[in-house]
Amino acid sequence: MKHIYQKGTNENAPTLLLLHGTGGDERDLLPLADMIAPGASVLSVKGNVSENGMPRFFARLAEGVFDEEDLVFRTKELKDFIDNSAVEHGFNRDRVVALGYSNGANIAGSMVYHYEDVLAGAILFHAMVPRRGVDIPALENLPVFVGAGTRDPIIPKSETEELILHLKESGADVTEYWTNGGHELRREEVDEAARWFQNHFVK
């Protein structure tokens, strides 16, 4: 997978896995990494699926309707890529925190839904429920930050609330932060995510 790896200056910080939204690329979220986890190593990945020329991490049948077969395949593809990247770049595989926006948050959520101990934490900005009717692994105290907008035209509030419920029922330690905005990423939720990251991962 096309990616950028930047070794950080803080050896104690986890590696930040950056996952862009639809139409983005591996450079999109680099400024966010500096705001949320300064000094952390960064693995920023570009999605392998193209939708009318727009990079994504998995296919969809319509807006809000995922191609579940492709989602499962791409979720494993991303997990395997992280496993291999840890060997290639020499970072601690057990200390990877995902930071995803929209489509990137959905693939991060899908990894958590399908694989135990795949992440040390996750920041999910404007995410949907990746799959329903599956047994989610035990997420004992997995720290997860969920940022959302109450007026998001793409993701109803009830969808985000269902995602949070699934995570909590599986044992995750979920922090939710709501703005009165839409699907756009707001500075206030980025600042809140930075505080969350400091509290959970910076010694």
Enzyme catalytic residues: 102, 152, 183
Which one-letter amino acid corresponds to residue 24? Answer: G
Contact 1, 81 (CB under 8 A): yes
> Which residue's entry shows tokens 């959302």?
148
Contact 182, 156 (CB under 8 A): no
Q: Which residues is 148 bridged to in the sheet?
A: 178
Contact 121, 94 (CB under 8 A): no
